[in-house]
């Protein structure tokens, strides 16, 4: 039953997330499965919709490029706009998360007001808070308090400030955590993430609150003592919230992991448009990280990454006798049984490690850091933990900033192929990987020989567009602005920072 529901949902959702059109109506209520009064019927749609948007057309590719896991190939042009830092809106994700996921979750909550359906209410509210955080973390000020209320006559919802949205999300998560749902029941077949285990959903909710707290780490709102007390008093996600790869049907288009769909579907986007970025490939290769062979196909000559955003190069940067455009670059791998991640166990353990590192409790910081890296290796089906015990990922007690950096760098690696947009957001917060100002175009051979391994670079073809800065946030989708009388002016470029993005750095 579970598998059939998932496949039905995937067909519709893939159509939405895979389209390139600019369309959105935040007040539209599609009633995805009609006027059902059974909350469990809507839950699979909400969960799959969230997963498909987090690792689908906009955020899977957008986060992958802006985190420099990938760069645009030399033989196609589908994603040049991402590499050129053009004014990208991620409109499909905005639509999918609002009129899809959030509408479904709102409907579930409205159908779950009686004690019998408390479990569905708890899950829907936890997922709603999580989704709203993703929305405001990406676009900043957005319709929130008046959003999704078209049925009440609110056609132009006000735009709430991101900081105010966060404050309300903290109130909501505290109210949710005051509820004990564990005596309630949820039908196993309709909960793709935890099979109706409400103990796991409590851990998920705790983890969402921790994420809300740590995202504010560079603001005056953050108090590490409060975060530390919370970490010590609660239990957190120890099993990733994910849609297991066993659910996919790799024999049929529309029924695969979304990135697998783009890889093996008719357009073959991954094989024709995506190559490994030198920033990421070299970091893994130089440090002998075994995940490189899981994440990327190795050409005959070994793994090779290209300069980010250098798709117009006609040179031979390596002086190997082969022009850049003709090199055999590493290509990303999405297997038929790839898990679709919502929130990972490594993500949460890295958050906990950072809280302890900020408190100078390096014993616990190391313990949770090791748990996080181990979880990532396990997710990638790697049994050899040498990189933790004696390799480059071994914990080294340092200053608070040095510890934050080693946590952030391993989070960047761990998120590859699973949580691309989280990598983009977390880099904005921590500023790791750092940015190197090297001007690749001025001397490609010198850049090739002295590449700043462990740093990101500014796109060769986008450098002038952003004055040597990385993108900070997408612009608003056009329809968000044109259909709303209360909409602000469009952002000028990709450099307008989210309110919590306050740490110095590019």
Structure-block tokens of residue 221: 């709102």
Q: Is residue 14 part of a domain?
A: yes
CA atoms within 13 A on the CB side of 315: 16
Per-residue pLDDT of 310-365, as tens digits, reads 999 999 999 999 999 999 999 999 999 999 999 999 999 999 999 999 999 999 99
- Beta bridge partners, 341, equal 242
Residue 28: predicted pLDDT:
38
Q: Is residue 467 part of a domain?
A: yes
Residue 32: predicted pLDDT:
42
d(CA 321, CA 445): 12
Per-residue pLDDT of 398-436, as tens digits, reads 999 999 999 999 999 999 999 999 999 999 999 999 999
CA distances in angstroms from 381 to 159, 194, 246, listed in the order given: 44, 21, 15
Q: Is residue 331 part of a domain?
A: no
- Going by their DSSP bridges, the two strands 456-457 and 435-436 should be labelled as parallel
Contact 25, 479 (CB under 8 A): yes
Structure-block tokens of residue 243: 């849609």
Residue 194: predicted pLDDT:
97
Residue 211: predicted pLDDT:
98
pTM given for the model: 0.93
Contact 346, 414 (CB under 8 A): yes
Residue 35: predicted pLDDT:
60
Residue 72, domain extent: 1-193+242-263+296-310+438-493
Per-residue pLDDT of 455-467, as tens digits, reads 999 999 999 999 9
Q: In the chain, what's the furthest Cα-to-Cα distance?
A: 71
Q: Is residue 118 part of a domain?
A: yes
Q: Is residue 271 part of a domain?
A: no
Q: Is residue 57 part of a domain?
A: yes
Q: Is residue 374 part of a domain?
A: no
Residue 13: predicted pLDDT:
42
Q: Is residue 256 part of a domain?
A: yes
d(CA 460, CA 311): 8
Please give the tally of structural domains in the chain. Answer: 1
Q: Which residues of the chain have pLDDT under 50?
A: 1-34
CA distances in angstroms from 214 to 94, 406, 430, listed in the order given: 24, 16, 10
How long, in residues, is the chain?
506
Residue 144: predicted pLDDT:
98
């Amino acid at each position: 039953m579970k598998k059939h529901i998932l496949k039905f949902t995937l067909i519709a959702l893939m159509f939405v997330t895979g389209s390139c059109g600019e369309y959105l109506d935040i007040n539209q209520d599609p009633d995805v499965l009609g006027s059902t009064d059974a909350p469990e019927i809507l839950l699979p749609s909400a969960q799959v919709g969230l997963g498909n948007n987090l690792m689908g057309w906009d955020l899977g590719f957008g986060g992958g490029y802006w985190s420099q896991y990938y760069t645009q190939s030399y033989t196609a042009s589908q994603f040049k706009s991402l590499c050129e830092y053009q004014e990208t809106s991620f409109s499909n994700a905005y639509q999918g998360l609002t009129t899809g996921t959030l509408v479904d979750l709102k409907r579930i909550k409205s159908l779950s007001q009686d004690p019998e359906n408390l479990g569905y209410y708890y899950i829907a509210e936890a997922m709603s808070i999580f989704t709203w955080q993703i929305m405001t973390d990406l676009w900043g000020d957005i319709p929130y308090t008046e959003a999704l209320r078209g049925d009440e006559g609110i056609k132009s919802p006000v735009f709430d400030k991101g900081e105010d949205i966060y404050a309300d999300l903290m109130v909501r998560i505290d109210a949710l955590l005051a509820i004990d749902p564990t005596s309630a029941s949820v039908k196993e077949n309709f909960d793709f993430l935890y099979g109706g285990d409400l103990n796991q959903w409590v851990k998920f909710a705790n983890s969402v609150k921790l994420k809300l707290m740590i995202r504010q780490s560079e603001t005056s709102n953050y108090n590490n003592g409060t975060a530390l007390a919370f970490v010590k008093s609660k239990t957190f996600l120890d099993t990733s919230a994910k849609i297991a790869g066993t659910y996919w049907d790799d024999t049929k288009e529309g029924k695969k992991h979304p990135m697998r769909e783009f890889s093996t579907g008719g357009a073959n986007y991954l094989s024709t448009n995506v190559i490994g970025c030198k920033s990421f490939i070299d970091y893994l290769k130089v440090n002998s990280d075994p995940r490189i062979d899981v994440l990327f196909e190795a050409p005959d000559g070994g793994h090779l990454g290209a300069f980010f955003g250098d798709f117009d190069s006609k040179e031979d940067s390596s002086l190997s006798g082969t022009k850049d455009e003709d090199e055999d670059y590493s290509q990303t791998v999405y297997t038929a049984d790839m898990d679709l991640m919502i929130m990972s166990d490594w993500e949460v353990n890295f958050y906990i490690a950072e809280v302890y590192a900020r408190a100078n409790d390096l014993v616990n910081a190391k313990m949770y850091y090791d748990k996080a890296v181990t979880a990532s290796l396990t997710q990638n089906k790697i049994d050899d933990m040498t990189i933790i015990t004696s390799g480059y990922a071994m914990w080294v007690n340092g200053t608070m900033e040095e510890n934050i950096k080693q946590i952030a760098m391993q989070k960047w690696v761990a998120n590859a192929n699973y949580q691309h947009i989280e990598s983009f957001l977390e880099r904005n917060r921590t500023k790791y990987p750092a940015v190197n100002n090297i001007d690749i175009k001025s001397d490609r051979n010198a850049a090739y020989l002295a590449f700043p391994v462990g740093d990101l670079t500014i796109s060769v073809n986008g450098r002038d567009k952003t004055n040597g800065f990385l993108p900070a946030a997408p612009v608003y989708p056009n329809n968000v602005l044109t259909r709303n009388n209360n909409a602000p002016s469009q952002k000028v470029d990709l450099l307008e920072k989210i309110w919590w993005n306050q740490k110095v750095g590019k």
